[in-house]
């Protein structure tokens, strides 16, 4: 089926999709082409990029448009109740089940279910969903009766599902069953001047809502807007425009300086840490620990270089001149570490962790070397103490201990093994 540009424009107007970028138009075109079929669709894109709008396009341009459309956020439903929500339950099937209940797949028979954040769905529920997709069958919680349903499933995710498959957190068969037709919704930073169009649209909407004049951007402010990466995408842009519309009571012309007062500063973490967050499900606390350990390692490498210089007196002058920028503020402390021109022997434990080198020195310098080692290990010591306290507080229930610590269970298990805290 050939989709014309005028048809794409008409659909965008109908579903309030603003923008003319090539990636956006391509996503709309694919949604329009797949809508008349009953194929499963997987919509991928960052949080706040507008994935739900594409699920509505698919439903309302299909033969199911007169049936129900239900949008469900899988990440917001507790693991213990999601089966009941989706497939229903029988009276007495669990504590609190005082009467039978129909699930969304029964209620939406003949319609469309939009499963947002599908990557957060528990594995047991994924098996139930796969059965619905393959056979149109489901069983209520607490029942043995197989029921039939005719529901189209449109799923969406803001995470890399293939990586979850590799980590054993998402079923591979379900992934391929859902992604029969993939639709990629581009983030705002990949849509070029669409950002400016959306800004004007939101400015007009909020001007009407709050009975004020719409805000406008100067040329330099537009440049700032287009350069900002908007990690929260359309949702963040809309909140930004509303904030400026309300707080700019006098001058409605916003220049770059004023706009920067409303735009949050970005924290540019190195790419290696962003990859680590995706791969290991790190929390911000884990990232900070990683940064601190790496900083400590850099300091220790610098100290080793200084000690090597003083142990090789013939080359010291030349190397100190070549690397003089590295020694600002630390030359004064060198005589306290090296005494009687005796060379230091640096032993590096090979245990896989970042720990300080342990110099073998005489009695006069022992306290200083010991202090350096203790300073390096203090972070690990504090982390170990925090983990022990959290485990004691929660009677060794790791799930709740991880929640108190602000880290994932997987990270906590690794830390327990690292510090040999297993009973």
Q: What tens digit of pLDDT does each residue of 328-350 get?
A: 554 444 444 444 444 444 443 44
pLDDT at 93: 86
| pLDDT of residue 314 exceeding 60 | no
- What the block records as the tokens of 155 is 């799923």
Question: Mean pLDDT lowest for which of 1-5, 95-99, 322-326?
Answer: 322-326
- 392-411 pLDDT, tens digit each: 888 888 888 888 777 888 78
Among 38, 50, 48, which residue's Cα sits nearest to residue 12?
50
| pLDDT of residue 56 exceeding 60 | yes
- 1-35 pLDDT, tens digit each: 689 999 999 999 999 999 999 999 999 999 999 99
Mean pLDDT, all residues of the chain:
81
- Mean pLDDT value across residues 128-145: 95
Enter the pTM of the model: 0.63
d(CA 254, CA 178): 45
- Domains delineated in the chain: 5-92+100-186 (3.40.50.300), 189-262 (1.10.8.60), 274-418 (no CATH)
Containing 146, the helix (H) or strand (E) segment is strand 146-148
251: phi then psi, degrees, rounded to nearest 5: -90, 120
Pairing outcome for strands 146-148 and 137-139:
antiparallel
Pairing outcome for strands 41-44 and 69-73:
unpaired
d(CA 40, CA 31): 11
pLDDT at 393: 82
- What the block records as the tokens of 95 is 């504590």
- Mean pLDDT value across residues 170-190: 95
pLDDT at 273: 42
Containing 71, the helix (H) or strand (E) segment is strand 69-73
- Mean pLDDT value across residues 140-163: 95
| pLDDT of residue 83 exceeding 70 | yes
Residue 16, judged by CB atoms within 10 A of its CB (0-12, 13-18, 19+), counts as: exposed
Q: What is the DSSP letter of 192?
A: T
| pLDDT of residue 364 exceeding 80 | no
Exposure on the CB side of residue 95, measured as CA atoms within 13 A: 1
Among 257, 51, 22, which residue's Cα sits nearest to residue 156?
51
């Amino acid at each position: 089926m050939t989709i014309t540009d005028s048809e794409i424009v008409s659909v965008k107007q109908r579903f309030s999709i603003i923008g003319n970028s090539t990636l956006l138009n391509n996503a709309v075109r694919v949604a329009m082409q797949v809508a008349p079929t009953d194929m499963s669709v997987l919509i991928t894109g960052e949080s706040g990029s507008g994935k739900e709008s594409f699920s509505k396009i698919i439903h309302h341009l299909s033969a199911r448009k007169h049936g129900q459309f239900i949008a469900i956020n899988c990440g917001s439903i507790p693991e213990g109740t999601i089966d009941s929500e989706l497939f229903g339950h029988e009276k007495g099937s669990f504590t609190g089940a005082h009467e039978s209940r129909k699930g969304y797949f029964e209620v939406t028979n003949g319609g469309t279910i939009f499963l947002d954040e599908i990557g957060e769905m528990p594995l047991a529920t994924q098996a139930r969903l796969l059965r619905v997709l393959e056979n149109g069958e489901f069983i209520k919680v607490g029942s043995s009766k197989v029921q039939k349903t005719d529901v189209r499933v449109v799923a969406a995710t803001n995470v890399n599902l293939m990586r979850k498959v590799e980590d054993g957190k998402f079923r591979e068969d379900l992934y391929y069953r859902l992604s029969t037709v993939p639709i990629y919704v581009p983030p705002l930073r990949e849509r070029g001047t669409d950002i400016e169009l959306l800004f004007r649209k939101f400015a007009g909407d909020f001007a009407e809502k709050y009975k004020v004049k719409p805000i406008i951007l100067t040329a330099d402010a537009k440049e700032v807007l287009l350069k900002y990466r908007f990690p929260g995408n359309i949702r963040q842009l809309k909140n930004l425009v509303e904030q400026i519309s309300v707080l700019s009571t006098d001058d409605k012309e916003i220049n770059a300086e004023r706009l920067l007062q409303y735009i949050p500063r970005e924290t540019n973490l190195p790419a290696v840490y962003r990859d680590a967050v995706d791969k290991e499900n790190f929390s911000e606390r884990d990232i900070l620990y990683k940064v601190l350990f790496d900083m400590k390692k850099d300091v220790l490498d610098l100290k080793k270089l200084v000690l090597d210089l003083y142990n090789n007196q013939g080359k010291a002058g030349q190397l100190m001149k070549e690397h003089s920028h590295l020694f600002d503020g630390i030359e004064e402390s060198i005589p306290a570490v090296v005494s009687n021109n005796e060379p230091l022997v640096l032993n590096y434990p090979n245990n896989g962790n970042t720990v300080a080198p342990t110099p073998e020195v005489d009695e006069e310098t022992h306290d200083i070397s010991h202090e350096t080692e203790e300073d390096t290990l203090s972070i690990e010591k504090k982390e170990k103490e925090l983990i022990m306290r959290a485990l004691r507080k929660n009677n060794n229930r790791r799930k709740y201990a991880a929640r108190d610590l602000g880290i994932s269970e997987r990270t906590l298990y690794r830390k327990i093994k690292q510090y040999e805290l297993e009973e």
